[in-house]
Amino acid sequence: METFESLVRAEFAPKNTFLNTASNGLLPARTVAALQEAALLRAEGSPLDPLYEDVETARAVFARLAGVAVGRVAAGSSVSAHTGLVAASLPAGAEVLTAEGDFTSVVNPFHARGDLKVRAVPLERLAESVRPGTALVAVSSAQSADGRIADLPALREAAREHGARTYVDVSQSAGWLPIKADAQDFTVSVGYKWLLGPHGVAFLVVPENSQDSAGSGGSEDFGGLTPILAGWVAGENPWDSCYGPLAELAHSARRFDLPPDLAAYAGMRRSLELVEELGVDALHAHDLALADRFRTGLAALGHEPVPAPGSAIVSVPGLGDRRPRLNSAGIQTAERAGNLRVSFHLYNTSDDVDRLLDVLSG
Q: Are residues 96 and 141 in the same domain?
A: yes
| Average pLDDT of the residues of the chain | 95
Digit-coded pLDDT (tens) for 144-172: 999 999 999 999 999 999 999 999 999 99
- State percent of the chain over pLDDT 90: 95
Q: Which of 224, 259, 275 is a domain's end point?
A: 275
Amino acid identity, position 287 = D
Q: Are residues 137 and 267 in the same domain?
A: yes
Residue 107 pLDDT > 50: yes
pTM of the model: 0.95
Q: Tell me whether residue 33 is in a domain.
A: no
Among 169, 258, 251, 157, which Cα is nearest to 205's? 169
Q: Tell me whether residue 52 is in a domain.
A: yes
Q: Are residues 72 and 160 in the same domain?
A: yes
Asked if residue 119 lies in contact with residue 95, where contact means CB atoms within 8 angstroms, the answer is: yes
In the chain, where do the E strands start and end?
A: 17-18, 73-76, 95-99, 117-121, 134-140, 165-169, 186-190, 202-205, 313-316, 331-332, 334-336, 339-343
Digit-coded pLDDT (tens) for 181-194: 999 999 999 999 99
Helices (H) and strands (E) in the chain, counts: 10, 12
Q: Tell me whether residue 34 is in a domain.
A: no
For residue 177, give the 3-state DSSP assignment. strand
Q: Tell me whether residue 199 is in a domain.
A: yes
Residue 236 pLDDT > 60: yes
Dihedrals phi, psi of 118, to nearest 5 degrees: -100, 120
Q: Are residues 138 and 185 in the same domain?
A: yes
CATH code, 315: 3.90.1150.10
Distance CA 269, CA 201 (A): 10
Residue 219 pLDDT > 90: no
Q: Are residues 109 and 9 in the same domain?
A: no
Q: Are residues 304 and 255 in the same domain?
A: no
pLDDT band at 211 (very low <50, low <70, confident <90, very high): low
pLDDT band at 205 (very low <50, low <70, confident <90, very high): very high
Identify the pLDDT of residue 156. 97
Dihedrals phi, psi of 352, to nearest 5 degrees: -60, -45
Q: Tell me whether residue 36 is in a domain.
A: no
Distance CA 329, CA 155 (A): 42
Identify the pLDDT of residue 217. 45
Q: Tell me whether residue 35 is in a domain.
A: no
Burial of 337 (0-12, 13-18, 19+ CB in 10 A): middle
Identify the pLDDT of residue 214. 44
Q: Are residues 67 and 144 in the same domain?
A: yes
Identify the pLDDT of residue 218. 45
Q: Are residues 140 and 270 in the same domain?
A: yes
Q: Are residues 23 and 46 in the same domain?
A: no
Q: Which of 208, 240, 275 is a domain's end point?
A: 275
Compute the half-sphere exposure of residue 349: CA atoms within 13 Å on the CB side of its CA. Answer: 11
Residue 213 pLDDT > 90: no
Q: Are residues 188 and 245 in the same domain?
A: yes
Q: Tell me whether residue 148 is in a domain.
A: yes
Q: Which of 241, 275, 309 is a domain's end point?
A: 275
Q: Are residues 68 and 53 in the same domain?
A: yes
Identify the pLDDT of residue 332. 98
CATH code, 154: 3.40.640.10
- Residue 49's H or E segment, with its range, is helix 49-66
* DSSP string for 99-166: ETT--HHHHHHHHHHSSSEEEEE-GGGTGGG--TTEEEEEEESB-TTT-PBP-HHHHHHHHHHHT-EE
Helix spans in 177-279 (H): 262-278
Full domain range(s) for residue 59: 41-275
Identify the pLDDT of residue 209. 82
Burial profile 181-218: b = 16 or more Cβ within 10 angstroms, e = fewer: beebbbbbbbbbbbbbbbbbbbbbbbbebeeebeeebe
Q: Tell me whether residue 329 is in a domain.
A: yes
Region of 223 (left: φ > 0; alpha: ψ -120 to 50; beta: rest) is left
Identify the pLDDT of residue 154. 98
Dihedrals phi, psi of 356, to nearest 5 degrees: -60, -45
Number of domains in the chain: 2
Q: Are residues 125 and 223 in the same domain?
A: yes
